[in-house]
Every structure is written in C-alpha cells, then in structure tokens.
Amino acid sequence: MPTIDEQVEILMSGAEYGDPEIKVNMAKELRERLIEAEKQGRPLRVYCGYDPRKPDLHLGHTITMRKLRQFQEFGHDVTFLIGTFTSLIGDPSDKDKARDQLTKDEVEENARTYAEQAFKILDRDLTRVRYNDEWLSTLDFADIIRLASNFTVQQFLVRENFKKRYDAGEPIYLHELFYGLMQGYDAVAQESDVQIGGQDQLFNILVAGRKLQGALGQKPQIAIIMGESLPGTDGDVKMSKSQGNHIPLLGEPWDMFGKVMSVPDKAMAIYHKLILGWGPVQLKELENGLASGALHPNEVKMRLAREIVSIFHSPDDAVAAQKRWDEVFRSHGGLPEDMPEETLHAEERIVDLLRRLNMVVSGKEAKRLIEQNGIRLDGEPVTDHFAVVTLDSLPAVLQVGKRKFVRLVAG
C-alpha cells in the first residue's frame, strides 16, 4: 500500500481550482483526513454524482470515474451516485438558459443502465450505487427553508453563468438556485469525506457542499475538481450530450470507433492523457513522433480508437470495428459487408423508419439530419421530411451519417 503522502500525490493529480492556494489547502486537508481515517481504521467515504438527463454516459464522464477508481484501489469506500432527484431540475452550472425539466419516469428510464455503464471503469464489487431521491424526496418545505438559510442570493448570482444571464436581462428561475442546494445536501446525507467533480461543479462541491456540512455539524468534505475536460468530436468544445459532440459508452463498437476517428488530430494528446491515462513521458514521445513524421496521425488515431473500443467493449469488437471502418472508408464501394437487413412489407416514411430502427433518437434529430444532407437512400440525399420508401424501390441501402447503414428489402 502506498504511503499517505504517495496517496495524496496520486489522488490530487489532475485537480485544479483556479487558485493555487485552494489546491494546497485541499491537499493538506486530504492528508489530514487520510491520517485520521487510518487511526480510526476506516476508509474515506468518496463519491461523484451523475445526473441521468440522457440515457447514456459518455467518454467525458470517465475522467471522474477513473479518479473514483484510484480511491477504490487504495481501499476507500466509493459511491457512484445517480442524481435521480437533482436531474429533475438539471445542473445550470455551464448553461446559458434554464434546462427543460424532466418527468420522474423519464429520469428513471435514463438511469436504468447508468450503473452498468459505470462498471466499465469501476470495480463492480467495490462500488456502492445510490440514488439521491432516497434523501432529497423526503425533505419538506421547512427543511428546504432551513437549508437555504445558509446561503445568500449574491453567492449564487456571482457565478459566471448566472451573472451573464443577469447582466443580459435573461431570466434566472428560482428553481435553478435549488440545484446547488440539493447537491450540497447530497454530501450531508452521505457524510462524505471527498467529492469528485469537473470544473463546472466547483461551486456546488467547494462552496455548497462544504458549507452545508459545516453548518450541520459535519467536517467539510475535500473537493477534488478535475482540471481538464475532454473535448468532444469537434476537438474544441467540452464533450457534452447537449452539444451533440459526445461519444456514448453505450454506442455500438463500430460507432464508437468511427467517432474517435472523427476527432481532430489536435485533440489526440488529451485523449491519450485523459482516456488512456498516459503520463508526461509517453505524451512527449507521441508529440515528438508526430512532429518528426515517425508517427502518422491517422495511424495514431486508429490505434487510439482500437484501444478505446477494447476498453469499453472488447478487443474482438475493436478488430471488427476497424474492419467495418476500412470497408466504408478505404474500399471502393464504401459500404460495410456486415450491414443489417430490414424487410419492409409496406411503404413507410423514412423518418418513421429511422426511429423504428433506432438509427436516430427522435424525429427531431431525423429532420435535422435531413436538412444537413446527412441521410441517404442508395447514395442519394433525402431532402424531404415526408419522403417514403416504396416497395418497388427496393432493395436499397439507407444510410445515416458515415457509420449507420441498413439494407432494405421487400417482403
């Protein structure tokens, strides 16, 4: 087992707070908490929360999961918290407008597979899975008033996203202020020693969580705020489901492979660092190899795609995904050999067909793709939202983007 000082160095790696003094203080508190826990013969209670606003987690979420895994490997008590109650509102931390509110049924459906996705990184046997409606749904109005009395409106309005909206005269809804309050109470309910999160969670963890714990007689948790965010498939903006630039963990292996291959070359280093865990020496060798021409960017990216698919699916899936990629992008025909086949018995609207075959998540997405010439039937762009596939036009290949294909045949 590493010494306490070695644990602190590893566990604080990658953490950033925008203020060096805060990082020094957090490292000091972590060291003290580790010493205290060792004397008491108990592990630290560590958690990170994930709101099921959508049904799938993505590669960006795995950064905090890997930090949780480090705590697991040192023998600490790790909780994967699913925000079944906080997600009813949605985190406003990095949003320039209020999120749509979800229903309880929508949240429960989205949360159904979260734990299984998390076990791609976390040790199933060492992970505690909890849902925050367990304690948040039991609070009454008097409880909310007592909790809210620990904060001022000014504390929330100085947050960058709220300040921008306030200065621009854009609405800030009262329920949005409750999100930080609820997440702070998550720390209280679990009596947490450590909470992990991204930069957008700095206020919720470092201010709301610690302040509520102190006010309610608990020792304030250590905040470990991960400094770097994974860029999405555009290579610039933070990976986000709302931005549509994410690589979902539930995606098909070939789709995951293709999306990694679409990431710009400039983002290769940070993907190796944050997803594969490469250190400074390996990253420098990568940088030098690319600069000298000893490494070809496309081959580096292909190796990265294989490794990522192997991690979240299997090595065999990675081989099959690359084969499909080669068939589509390196062969003359441009169509995969193992394309699924669908039999039609009557004419059907293309939008309805895409939804039925789960090639799009909604009719809205299908219409957007049609407007962007992202849907093709036998190689020709579909331009009409009301276009239908007739039986006498079959067989034909329906294609969505560059990676989704189905061969349509008449029944």
- Looking at residue 66, what is its pLDDT? 93
- Looking at residue 186, what is its pLDDT? 96
pLDDT in tens, 238-249: 888 777 788 998
Q: Is the pLDDT of residue 331 over 70?
A: no
CB atoms within 10 A of CB 347: 13
- Looking at residue 332, what is its pLDDT? 45
**CATH number of this structure's domain 341-410:** 3.10.290.10
3-class DSSP state of 47: strand
Q: Specify the pTM.
A: 0.75
pLDDT band, very low/low/confident/very high, at 333 (cuts 50, 70, 90): low
Q: Is the pLDDT of residue 120 over 60?
A: yes
All structural domains of the chain with their residue ranges: 4-225, 253-329, 341-410
How far, in Å, are 143, 195, 371 from residue 28 at the CA level?
Answer: 33, 15, 55
Residues in the chain: 411
pLDDT in tens, 33-90: 999 999 999 999 999 999 887 778 899 999 999 999 999 999 999 999 998 888 877 5
pLDDT in tens, 401-411: 777 888 888 87
pLDDT in tens, 192-228: 999 999 988 888 899 899 999 999 999 999 999 999 8
Give me the chain's average pLDDT, please.
87
- Top pLDDT among 336 and 294 is at 294
pLDDT band, very low/low/confident/very high, at 327 (cuts 50, 70, 90): confident
pLDDT in tens, 282-306: 999 999 988 888 888 888 999 999 9
- Looking at residue 45, what is its pLDDT? 98
Backbone angles phi, psi at 160, to 5 degrees: -55, -45
- CB of 387 closer than 8 Å to CB of 402: no
* CATH superfamily placement of domain 4-225: HUPs (3.40.50.620)
- Looking at residue 275, what is its pLDDT? 92
Please name the helix (run of DSSP H) or strand (run of DSSP E) that holds residue 45, with its range, or none: strand 45-50
- Looking at residue 115, what is its pLDDT? 86
- Looking at residue 90, what is its pLDDT? 58
Backbone angles phi, psi at 16, to 5 degrees: -145, 145
Q: How far apart are CA 268 and CA 300, in angstroms?
A: 8
- CB of 398 closer than 8 Å to CB of 377: yes
Which residues make Cβ contacts (< 8 Å) with residue 73, sequence separation at least 6? Answer: none
